[in-house]
Structure 1
Amino acid sequence: ANTPVWTSLMLGYDMTPLGSDGKLRTTSPEAIEAAALYKRLMTKAAPPGVTGFNWAEAQSAFLQGKIGMWFDGVGFAPPMENPEKSRVVGKVGYGVMPKGPKAHAAGTFGDGIGVTSASAKKEAAYLFCQWAVSPAMGARLLQAGAGVPFRKSVLEDPKVREGVTMPPSWLDAVVGSGNISRLALPVIIPVTGFRDIYGVALTNRIAGADPADELKKATEQFQPVLDRSEQG
């Protein structure tokens, strides 16, 4: 879970972990500074034990009112407004990622669906894809607070907005983030390995290791994995 936070901070330096040429930028000065910033936040402003947190632990701590700020995607917000799960109902504000030193960007993630070449029912699968990405389903996604539809027409539809169950500040954060969205993880096959390898490096940094050294070692470890996966 460390890695997407680091790459999101990196976007504020107008830097992505992978360039358009397919080369890793994870040892760039911007990547190192983003890692150093993350280390400062985790050691100077975070609660004890946070180094071992994953998404679930971070959400639980916020739900219980034990921490004052939580950085996550908007789709994880509905439990905050559920009185059966949350102790902070009505006390939560939602905001857009702050501007970084060089750029203002909100890290973006998404789901992808498609029809496989091996499918025996390609037409049915294609029709399902059309249904899943339809304006009606986008409206349901937004109104439930489960995520952000990629159709701008859905976001701007007054009738859809009237049905949103989350607070107005949540919707404002959704729209504002959409206007500055950039992918927070590289589009590569071994993206899970990317998260794992750099996640370990980030944990080591938080524990006191040098950010530049850890990034160098992680990049040397991951580069062969990336090279093998993207061949052909």
Structure 2
Amino acid sequence: MTFTTRGRLLACAASALVATGASAETITIATVNNGDMIRMQGLASAFTDAHPDIELEWVTLEENVLRQRVTQDVATKGGQFDVMTIGTYEVPIWSAQDWLVPLDGMPEGYDADDILPAISAGLTTDGTLYAAPFYGESSMVMYRKDLIEAAGLEMPDAPTWDQIREAAAAMTDKDAGVFGICLRGKAGWGENMAFLSAMANSYGARWFDMDWNAQFDTPEWKATLTDYLDLMTNYGPPGSSSNGFNENLALFQQGKCGMWIDATVAASFVTNPTDSTVADQVGFALAPDKGLGKRGNWLWAWNLAIPAGSEKVDAAKAFVAWATSQDYTALVAENEGWANVPPGTRSSLYENQDYLDAAPFAQMTLESINAADPQNPTVDPVPYVGVQFVAIPEFQGIGTAVGQQFAAALAGQISADEALANAQALTTREMKRSGYQD
């Protein structure tokens, strides 16, 4: 039976139930205003047709506003929302505070075991899933095949940082306005520090040791920052300390970047001929490593979770199960095409030949996600969970402050040694103030 046929039958059943006078329960869903979530709202009639006893009320917000609103509500158990869109960063913190409803006892057929292990690990506390992933991502190398070939080089599927530097040098032609590499430079825990934290993991660096001592005074962090600044200063575009995801995306689409190491979800943007002047010349590789067993890639997912303050848990759980199910993926494919289905969450998607044919970057995306381990993100042991972030409440402030120091070093305002010393001091101060150390 096709999804469309099933939907018609469910709609008929819904009409029959409504005719008997059954009352509907309204659940309020807080979500982010990105394209995938807007698409979900547009397709939500398939859910309400199948669940005539549930009505949906949407609160759609810009990302920063969403974070503020849902954090306030979940912390106070205010009950304003029944379903929240939250990131991988929040899940381990909030579940430890008993702010989220465990997602056990999901409806029959949900198949939680189909969720990619790397994604589910970041959403699981003590063996229990606390959020269901809507879409997931890692990071990888996107590169110009034509420039690599012209330079007489080959990009391996699993490059080292030394190979990345060699390729960046060979592809740079500043007179032609082509820069060998584009990386995030804009300050922020989710901007330059997302990239640099992942890169640092591959260099053997950590944010903290097992006693929560800051580690920016170590040789591993000095090597990380020194090599990053060397790459960007010699082979990156001017003004790179102001460049984040969107700015680098535009540069790559305009043919100005030989390589870009960033989110796997960008692959569909750089290979879309409507937007990208180099769409037919893009290759993909895993994020680089230093031979220490960790790659410089991150892990992220946008997820649906139920706050502990909700009084409509069963209805909320039914919606979460629908929106993150295999059937929802099929619904998007039927209406929007396979290239537009939410990526990076389920193993079955990467076994679907229709999707693999529509998304030439699918296999590298999967390998990148699988290379990240939020439970063991670094070479040496750490007391925290998270790959490109540290899953403690204080990290947003600390991460952004450290990012400002590293952006200043990239802009030439301070040296690498000064940036690292400042990062060490401010992180140590905040961790003591927050009670992690005496």
TM-score bracket, shorter-length normalisation = 0.7 to 0.9
1:1-232, aligned counterparts within 5 Å? 1-19=191-209, 21-105=211-295, 106-137=297-328, 143-144=339-340, 147-149=343-345, 151-155=346-350, 157=351, 160-164=352-356, 167-168=359-360, 170-182=361-373, 183-208=387-412, 209-226=414-431
Q: Deviations over 1:28-53 (max 9, x none)?
A: 22122111111111101102222221
- Please report how far the alpha carbon of residue 64 of structure 1 lies from its aligned counterpart in structure 2 after TM superposition: 0.8
The 1:167/1:113 distance shift into structure 2, 3 A limit, reads closer
Measure the CA separation in 1 of the matches of 2:222 and 2:393: 24
Aligned-residue Cα RMSD (Å) equals 2.7
1:11–1:103: 8 Å Cα contact kept in structure 2?
A: no
Identity %, equivalent residues: 23
- Please report how far the alpha carbon of residue 70 of structure 1 lies from its aligned counterpart in structure 2 after TM superposition: 1.0
- Please report how far the alpha carbon of residue 16 of structure 1 lies from its aligned counterpart in structure 2 after TM superposition: 3.2
1:14–1:103: 8 Å Cα contact kept in structure 2?
A: no
SS in 1 for 2:298: strand
- Judge which range, 97-106 or 133-142, deviates more: 133-142
2:239–2:411: 8 Å Cα contact kept in structure 1?
A: no
Measure the CA separation in 2 of the matches of 1:112 and 1:87: 33
Q: What amino acid does structure 1 have at the position aligned with 2:390?
A: P
SS in 2 for 1:109: strand
Q: What amino acid does structure 2 have at the position aligned with 1:148?
A: G
Measure the CA separation in 2 of the matches of 1:127 and 1:134: 11
Bigger share in helix:
1
Measure the CA separation in 2 of the matches of 1:177 and 1:212: 32
Give 5+ residue unaligned stretches, structure 2: 1-190, 374-386
- Please report how far the alpha carbon of residue 185 of structure 1 lies from its aligned counterpart in structure 2 after TM superposition: 1.5
Measure the CA separation in 1 of the matches of 2:370 and 2:406: 29
Q: What amino acid does structure 2 have at the position aligned with 1:67?
A: C
- Please report how far the alpha carbon of residue 167 of structure 1 lies from its aligned counterpart in structure 2 after TM superposition: 4.5
Q: What amino acid does structure 1 have at the position aligned with 2:354?
A: E
Q: Deviations over 1:93-141 (max 9, x none)?
A: 1111122242332222223432112213222222223234334456769
Q: Which runs of 4+ in 1 moved over 3 A?
A: 18-24, 135-143, 151-154, 164-167, 222-231
- Judge which range, 207-216 or 133-142, deviates more: 133-142
Measure the CA separation in 1 of the matches of 2:211 and 2:349: 34
Measure the CA separation in 2 of the matches of 1:226 and 1:110: 27
Measure the CA separation in 1 of the matches of 2:313 and 2:353: 34
Measure the CA separation in 1 of the matches of 2:369 and 2:408: 33
2:255–2:277: 8 Å Cα contact kept in structure 1?
A: yes
Number of residue pairs matched?
226
